[in-house]
């Protein structure tokens, strides 16, 4: 089954890292990602630009608005994602825990829905 690991970071915690620690974490993360990709576990991953570059689109009552930044009340902002293949939710959680970003934010683990089954159900 596929799982999406949503990586959230807290700028306050990132800013508190010692000099060079972010680069060390990032290097280790990329090396780990390369190994997971080589064994077929990691299907894809991307980093996102800082949340301050985001725009949020919202339509209510037929009116569409665009807001600067993410629409969020939390200090942790979405920073990237990993799409993985895992045999169980427990394995997906274990894999998520191997990435360093749980120390500077959190990693949300969410099963990916089979859109083919949804298409069949709704007749699309």
Q: Express each pLDDT in 2-13 by its tens digit.
A: 999 999 999 999
Choice among 21-25, 70-74, 100-104 with the minimum mean pLDDT: 70-74
| Secondary structure letter of residue 18 according to DSSP | P
Mean pLDDT of 63-75: 78
pLDDT in tens, 41-54: 999 999 999 888 88
Phi, psi of 107, deg, nearest 5: -125, 115
Examine the pLDDT at 16 and tell me if it is beyond 90: yes
The Cα 53–Cα 51 span in angstroms is 5
Per-residue pLDDT averaged across 31-47, rounded?
95
Residue 101 has what DSSP assignment?
A: G
Burial of 40: CB neighbours in 10 Å, binned 0-12, 13-18, 19+: exposed
Q: Using H for helix, E for strand and C for coil, what is the string for the chain? A: CEEEEEEEEEHHHHHCCCCCHHHHHHHHHHHHHHHHHHCCCEEEEEECCCHHHCEEEEEECCEEEEEECCCCCCCEEEEEEEEEECCCHHHHHHHHHCCHHHHCEEEEEEECCCHHHHHHHHCC
């Amino acid at each position: 089954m596929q799982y999406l690991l949503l990586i959230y970071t807290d700028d306050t915690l990132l800013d508190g890292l010692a000099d060079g620690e972010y680069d060390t974490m990032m290097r280790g993360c990329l090396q780990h990602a390369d190994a997971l990709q080589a064994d077929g576990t990691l299907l894809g991953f991307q980093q996102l630009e800082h949340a301050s570059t985001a725009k949020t689109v919202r339509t209510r009552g037929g009116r569409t608005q665009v807001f600067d930044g993410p629409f969020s009340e939390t200090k942790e902002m979405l920073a990237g994602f990993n799409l993985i293949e895992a045999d169980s939710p427990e394995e997906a959680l274990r894999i998520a825990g191997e990435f360093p970003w749980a120390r500077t934010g959190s990693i949300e683990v969410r099963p990916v829905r089979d859109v083919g089954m949804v298409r069949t159900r709704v007749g699309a």
